[in-house]
Amino acid sequence: MPSLQEIRQAKAEKSLSEYIKQAWPIIEPGVDYMHNWHIDAISEHLEAVNLGQISRLLINVPPRYMKSIAVTVKWPTWTWTKNAYKRFISLSYSATLSKKHNINRRDIILSPWYQERWGDQFSLKDDKNTQMNFENTKTGFMFATSIGGTLTGEGGDYIIVDDPHNPQQAQSKAERESAIEFFRTTLPTRLNNKKTGAIIVVMQRLHEMDVSGHCLKNEEGYTHLCLPGIAEKRTIITMPISLREIIREKDDLLWPEREGKKEIAQMKRSLGSYGFAGQYQQTPSPEDGNILNRTWWKYYKVLPSEPFDEIVQSWDCAFKDLKTSDYVVGQVWGRLGARFYLLDQVRGKMGISATMQAIRNMSAKWPKATAKLVEDKANGTAVIELLQREIPGLIPIEPEGGKIVRAQAISYLVEAGNVYLPDPEIASWINDFVEEAAMFPNGENDDQVDCCSQALNRLMTPTVKALFGMEGTNYEDIIGAESLYQEYGF
């Protein structure tokens, strides 16, 4: 009769999910293991990779849902219990993170738990045993590097791409394109056998055109296991080995024992709607918009009777007045307490002369808009030089942080219901404004959004933050402060 240890060992060898559970205390001592069906789903997809049923696998799952532990750390060490000759290459956006995963793998292999069960299968070579690269006596190895890192001379049977983008830099087009280019041109060449080798991508979504977006749009043959934190519709997930079906009804939470409704709501507040849609829902382009949701804007048909505390003009100028040029946009914004009103807009293809005349006209129409913000690039620089002796209050604005960062900085105002637009009944052009904002940053045009973010960033800094006694604080921190909402008209 087999002992309890032999029974548990047999279960661990047969099931990656069971192995993950049993190996948990090695890298998370003192933390209770919490199982969930999504670990079974991830495990069976990886088992299908080992069986040659899947050669390209994309897994999208929220952060801190055991994706790295299951895929990058435990799956390779489980594979070695049967096939120690397999060679693994794992990559992340950070060499430090990749090294951590490799150290965790080695810790499991060298643990008494692993050695008692599979220590007779192989041992690690003393002369090839580092934190970034170790090899066993059956020529299998585990090599860790970063996206864009050195891979010369290395070839693997399985390549694991775990979080290829730095969350803090994923909005950078240059960063994304660099990661995708490395993923597209370098990684496939490092498979030892193009017919039997496999590439596994596991990540949270950060942008519509991140590595996941590239795989879904351009790469054929990827099996996609998508696990949003909240089910947006009724979904059936079928396990590839057991054929077990998991039915998720609309609004079902992925792992309620770990993150319930309260914790999910907190994460949404922390990440903001755009960040939550990507990292938790795996849909970085939500139907209502990206950074500036269609449903957030407030509308007015009649302006408040009180005088505005401050009125500004905001201008985004183009390079030339060609048909292919960006639009020139001029807007007038007013602030009343903590409410912001778009009062007027002009938009068109204009050269320098036409742009100068538009500023003259707007200044005459809105004489109380004493500050005139002009982005100091393209024709804006020349316009400022030519008009500064004629029209007072022209302020050159040097953009900081990029378009997306500036839009994200004002998205909390819009989401909180503080930004008012003229009703389409009195300003038909506002529909184009709202649509452009919803499509940003993936739409064809962004000039109206640039103009808007330039104005609102000026109006809320430092004046509005001073109202809350929060100079130098991220505006996100005040979302949810109900007393402030009531006092200042949120």
| Tens digits of residue pLDDT in 163-178 | 999 988 887 888 999 9
pTM to 2 decimals?
A: 0.66
Q: How confident is the model at residue 88 (pLDDT cuts 50, 70, 90)?
A: very high
Average pLDDT, the chain: 89
CA atoms of 344 and 356, how far apart (whole Å): 17
Side-chain half-sphere CA neighbours of 169 within 13 A? 12
Handedness of CA 10, 13, 15, 18 (dihedral sign): positive
Task: Work out the pLDDT band at 468, boundaries 50, 70, 90.
Answer: very low
State residue 207's pLDDT score.
86
Q: Give phi and psi for 313, each to the nearest 5.
A: -100, 150
- CA gap 288, 93 in Å, rounded: 30
Res 366: pLDDT: 97
Q: Are 160 and 77 in contact (CB under 8 A)?
A: no
| Rounded mean pLDDT, 92-105 | 96
- pLDDT at residue 461, rounded to an integer: 60
**Which residue ranges form the domains of the chain, and what is each CATH number?**
4-279 (3.40.50.300), 298-488 (3.30.420.240)
CA distance 405 to 407: 5
Confidence of residue 284 (pLDDT cuts 50, 70, 90): confident
Give the rounded percent of residues in the chain with a pLDDT score beyond 70.
91
**pLDDT reported for residue 336:** 95
Comparison of pLDDT for 332 and 444, the residue scoring more: 332
Tell me the mean pLDDT in the region 201-222. 90
Band (pLDDT 50/70/90 cuts) for residue 182 is: very high
Classify 480 in phi/psi space as left (phi over 0), alpha (psi -120 to 50) or beta.
Answer: left
Strand pairing report for 223-226 and 56-60: parallel
Strands 310-316 vs 371-375: parallel, antiparallel or unpaired: parallel
Per the listing, tokens 């994309």 go with 58
* pLDDT at site 170: 85
Is the pLDDT assigned to residue 469 strictly greater than 70? no
Q: Is residue 467 pLDDT above 60, yes or no? A: no
| pLDDT at 489 > cutoff 70 | no
